[in-house]
């Protein structure tokens, strides 16, 4: 299934449904598997409730959520009506019955082996749930207070018929909530939502401000109040219209080795201990669908989502660092390990200041180990432009900045120590003022009128030339 999925994704193909997936037992599952839901940027944008050409508007909305300016009079308030309307739509609607609880299995009959969870790569440790929306809340909070809840996409290894391993990294919301329960020696309620609507799933993956709930923000994306229902066996609320929900409790002290699994780096990550969830119930629709994906060296669905999120993040970045014109995180570099940033340069040392600001701005950039700064006349998404400015505007003895012992993704096998590594900043901008003592070269550019005439002439001649 993974091989078929990858081939279709690389061809820009459609969403796939495997109607009769084969379980480990050799029997066919009655639950179809859906893959490649986010296999194109257009489908990712649609999941966010917009078209590709409106991503910049959504990015501006996200930037405003982080630092909204107060309305200045009635005219300004009316101009912000789309934002206000979206905010009003985020109030959840609590329901008592829901499609996701049409079938309820609690206790011993809650069996994970009935689900068509894929084993994706030959050396994977076992079946891996790849698109779960994991819902948690801090100790002492109310289940109905969604503003306290966290929804994150963390992979979950199936350990046996009633246990999962929750792989949440220390800086993620789920891990922070778990620590609040561990500090009191208590087990934590968890709900794993499988087959959430695209807006909820993408909201759980978005780097939203800490003050914005992923569950309520999904309502802003979908333009409707999210419908939530109480779980059957744990004190949590879950999306009423999801396909499947796994309910259970995460131990304050029990862990199990998770992995190895093929990861987004293109390598198998080593096994490491993570908390264990004891399942207490499974609920699902009458005829549920199981949403799945694979994770591997790009291209994959997370990399495609990452490209869209890159565009969404640009207005937030520009609000903090106004001289930035564009920013690209190449998918081939794991979507975050390398960044190319173009700036409107005005003073000496500006490129270094921008690079340092990026590393310290968002937690996501703390794992970016290389930043290349270029001028606004270079396209940061064009490898030819990047190679040209590196070759003509960068001197290794002057324009390379090295940092030591900084935070790093522990999956980076190149780092000397897990979780701790160096960073490199490369200033490939034109050197001005005190940055150089010699006359700088002038970029060759043709006359605009000549270039336009030539382009028109060639366009008319090429068909006659049989080309």
Known catalytic residues? Answer: 263
Confidence at residue 250, expressed as pLDDT on a 0 to 100 scale: 97
Cα–Cα distance for residue pair 126/121, rounded to 1 Å? 9
DSSP state at residue 242: -
Q: Tokens representing 27?
A: 């029997």
Confidence at residue 463, expressed as pLDDT on a 0 to 100 scale: 84
Contact 141, 181 (CB under 8 A): no
| H helix count then E strand count, the chain | 12, 22
Neighbours of 322 (CB within 10 A): 10
Architecture of domain 321-435: 3-Layer(aba) Sandwich (3.40)
Selection from 245, 324, 313, 280 nearest residue 65 by Cα: 313
338-343 and 370-375 as β-strands: parallel, antiparallel, unpaired? parallel
Q: Tokens 């994970």 label which residue?
A: 112
The dihedrals phi and psi of 261, each to the nearest 5 degrees, come to -140, 150
Q: Which residues pair with 70 in a beta bridge?
A: none
N-to-C CA span, the chain: 41
Confidence at residue 71, expressed as pLDDT on a 0 to 100 scale: 61
Cα–Cα distance for residue pair 117/313, rounded to 1 Å? 32
Cα–Cα distance for residue pair 93/95, rounded to 1 Å? 6
Give all strands of the β-sheet with 338-343 in edge-to-edge order: 324-328, 338-343, 370-375, 420-428, 400-407
Confidence at residue 356, expressed as pLDDT on a 0 to 100 scale: 96
**How many residues are recorded in the chain?**
467
Cα 156-295-199 angle, rounded to 5 deg: 75
Write out the residue limits of the CATH 3.40.1670.10 domain(s) in the chain: 321-435
Cα–Cα distance for residue pair 33/21, rounded to 1 Å? 7
What's the CATH number of domain 2-291, 2.30.110.10, 1.10.150.20, 1.10.132.10, 3.40.640.10? 2.30.110.10
**3-state SS class at 230:** strand
237-239 and 227-230 as β-strands: parallel, antiparallel, unpaired? antiparallel
Confidence at residue 98, expressed as pLDDT on a 0 to 100 scale: 96
Does the global pTM surpass 0.75?
A: yes
Confidence at residue 190, expressed as pLDDT on a 0 to 100 scale: 98
Per-residue pLDDT of the chain (467 residues; tens, 9 = 90+): 999 999 999 999 999 999 999 988 888 999 999 999 999 999 999 999 899 999 988 888 888 777 666 666 656 665 666 665 666 566 788 999 999 999 999 988 999 999 999 999 999 999 999 999 999 999 999 999 888 899 999 999 999 999 999 999 887 889 999 999 999 999 999 999 999 999 999 999 887 777 778 888 888 787 778 899 999 999 999 999 999 999 999 999 999 999 999 999 899 988 999 999 999 999 999 999 999 999 999 999 999 999 999 999 899 899 899 999 999 999 999 889 999 999 999 999 999 999 999 998 877 788 999 999 999 999 999 999 999 999 999 999 999 999 999 988 877 888 888 889 999 999 999 999 999 998 898 888 888 888 889 988 888 888 877 76
Instruction: Please give the full DSSP string across 322-340, using - where no structure is assigned.
Output: TTEEEEE--GGGTTTSEEE
Determine the angle formed by the axes of helices 198-205 and 301-320, rounding to 10 degrees: 60
Selection from 407, 323, 330 nearest residue 364 by Cα: 407
Q: Tokens representing 84?
A: 């206000």
**3-state SS class at 312:** helix
Q: Tokens representing 50?
A: 């917009």
Write out the residue limits of the CATH 2.30.110.10 domain(s) in the chain: 2-291
């Amino acid at each position: 299934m993974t091989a078929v999925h990858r081939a279709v994704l690389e061809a820009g193909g459609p969403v796939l449904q495997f109607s009769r997936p084969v379980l480990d037992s050799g029997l066919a599952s009655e639950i179809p598997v859906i893959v490649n839901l986010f296999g194109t940027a257009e489908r990712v944008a649609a999941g966010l409730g917009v078209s590709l050409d409106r991503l910049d508007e959504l990015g501006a909305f996200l930037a405003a959520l982080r630092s909204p300016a107060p309305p200045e009079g009635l005219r300004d308030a009316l101009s912000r009506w789309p934002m206000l309307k979206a905010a009003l739509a985020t109030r959840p609607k609590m329901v008592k019955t829901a499609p996701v609880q049409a079938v309820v299995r609690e206790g011993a009959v809650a069996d994970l082996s009935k689900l068509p969870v894929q084993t994706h790569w030959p050396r994977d440790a076992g079946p891996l749930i790849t698109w779960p929306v994991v819902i948690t809340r801090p100790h002492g909070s109310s289940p109905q207070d969604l503003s306290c809840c966290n929804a994150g996409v963390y992979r979950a290894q199936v350990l046996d018929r009633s246990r999962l391993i929750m792989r949440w990294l220390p800086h993620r919301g789920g891990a922070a909530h778990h620590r609040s329960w561990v500090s009191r020696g208590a087990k934590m309620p968890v709900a794993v939502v499988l087959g959430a609507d695209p807006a909820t799933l993408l909201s759980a993956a978005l780097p939203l401000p800490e003050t914005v709930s992923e569950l309520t923000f999904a309502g802003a994306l979908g333009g409707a109040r999210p419908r939530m229902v109480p779980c059957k066996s744990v004190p949590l609320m879950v999306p009423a219209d999801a396909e499947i929900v796994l309910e259970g409790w995460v131990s304050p002290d029990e862990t199990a080795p998770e992995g190895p699994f093929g990861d987004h780096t293109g390598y198998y990550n080593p096994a490491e201990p993570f908390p264990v969830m004891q399942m207490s119930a499974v609920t699902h629709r009458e005829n549920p669908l199981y949403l799945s994906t694979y994770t591997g060296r790009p291209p994959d669905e997370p990399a495609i989502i990452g490209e869209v999120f890159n565009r969404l993040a640009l207005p937030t970045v520009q609000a903090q660092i106004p001289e930035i014109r564009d920013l690209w995180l190449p998918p081939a570099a794991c979507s975050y390990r390398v960044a190319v940033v173009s700036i409107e340069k005005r003073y000496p040392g500006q490129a270094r200041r921008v690079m340092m600001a990026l590393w310290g701005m968002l937690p996501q950039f703390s794992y970016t180990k290389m930043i290349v700064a270029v001028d606004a006349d270079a396209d940061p998404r064009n490898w030819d432009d990047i190679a040209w400015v590196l070759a003509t505007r960068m001197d290794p003895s002057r324009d390379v900045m090295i940092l030591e012992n900084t935070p790093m993704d522990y999956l980076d096998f190149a780092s000397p120590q897990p979780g701790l590594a160096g960073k490199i900043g490369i200033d490939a901008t034109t050197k001005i003022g005190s940055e150089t003592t010699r006359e700088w070269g002038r970029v060759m550019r043709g006359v605009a009128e000549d270039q336009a005439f030539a382009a028109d002439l060639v366009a008319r001649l090429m068909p006659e030339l049989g080309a």
